[in-house]
Amino acid sequence: MSLIEVRNLSKVYNTTAVPVNALNDVNLNIEKGEFTAIVGPSGSGKTTLLNMIGGLDQPSQGSIIIDNTDVSTYKTDDLIGFRLHHIGFVFQAYNLIPVFTAKENVEFIMLLQNVSKEEREKRAIELLKSVGLEDKLDVRPSQLSGGQQQRVAVARALASHPSFVLADEPTANLDSQSAGALLDLMENLNHEFGMTFVFSTHDARVIKRAHRIVTLMDGMIKNDQVREQAVNTN
């Protein structure tokens, strides 16, 4: 059984005079431990697909099965609970809470999970050390560089012990050095701990590192390429 199963997935947006078919009968399986990039031009449906997998939007038809659970049947409250315990998110805009320190941002997910204060602090410190920010525990996002903020976001994504991490254009706002360092970090997490990463991206820097590339065009999968070894740009 795959970690993520997307079956006959379609998404139609009726917010305009002419309905938009964002996804059209997509089928995709993601196995545990994959480092996969979903790619395609603007409007191809890659972010929509990532949002569907992450339970941030619901399909018009089809199903999404995660850890043997059909989440496409869940109501909003159930989806929120499932995301909290099973999925880590890394967004293009970081989405850190500005009034919280780096440590508090990482702790927040665990607070929602009712993890004890002692355990929250311990794990947050361990995670920030693991992403090279042990000296930034009490620093707020506005005092961090873009690359550092995204590292905090990765630590936060891992705080809940997720089954996998979804990363939507995680390098889009980063310079080459910061993007390379972030991708090194994610690859290390993938290699050392088997953490599954699924990216939505048009960034060549991410695509070169991906072990599998799923190409979308007009809401449909046009190509699905598995590499024996990704290309490291360093």
Does residue 222 lie within any of the structural domains?
yes
pLDDT surpassing 80 at residue 110: yes
Q: What is the DSSP letter of 142?
A: G
| Distance from the first to the final alpha carbon of the chain | 35
Domains of the chain: total: 1
Give me the DSSP letters along 7-36: EEEEEEE-SSSS-EEEEEEEEEEE-TT-EE
pLDDT at 19: 87
Does residue 18 lie within any of the structural domains?
no
pLDDT surpassing 90 at residue 149: yes
Does residue 8 lie within any of the structural domains?
no
- By mean pLDDT, which of 25-34, 74-83, 148-157, 204-213 is the weakest? 74-83
Query: Is the CB of residue 10 less than 8 Å from the CB of residue 21?
Result: yes
pLDDT at 229: 56
* Half-sphere exposure (Cβ direction) of 156: Cα atoms closer than 13 Å: 29
The per-residue pLDDT for range 37-88, each reduced to its tens digit, is: 999 998 899 999 999 999 998 899 999 999 999 998 898 889 999 999 999 9
Does residue 68 lie within any of the structural domains?
no
Does residue 103 lie within any of the structural domains?
yes
pLDDT surpassing 50 at residue 211: yes
The per-residue pLDDT for range 171-189, each reduced to its tens digit, is: 988 999 999 999 999 999 9
Quick one: tokens of 71? 């989440």
| SS3 state at 134 | coil
Backbone angles phi, psi at 93, to 5 degrees: -95, 15
pLDDT surpassing 70 at residue 124: yes
Does residue 4 lie within any of the structural domains?
no
pLDDT at 17: 78
Does residue 88 lie within any of the structural domains?
yes
CATH number of the structural domain spanning residue 120 = 3.40.50.300
Q: In one letter, which amino acid is 70?
A: D
Average pLDDT of the chain? Answer: 92
Note down the domain range covering 217: 33-55+73-226
The per-residue pLDDT for range 7-39, each reduced to its tens digit, is: 999 999 987 778 889 999 999 999 999 999 999
- Percent above pLDDT 90 for the chain: 82
Does residue 45 lie within any of the structural domains?
yes
Cα 207 to Cα 197: distance, rounded to the nearest angstrom: 13
pLDDT at 87: 95
pLDDT at 228: 66
- The whole-model pTM stands at 0.91
pLDDT at 230: 52
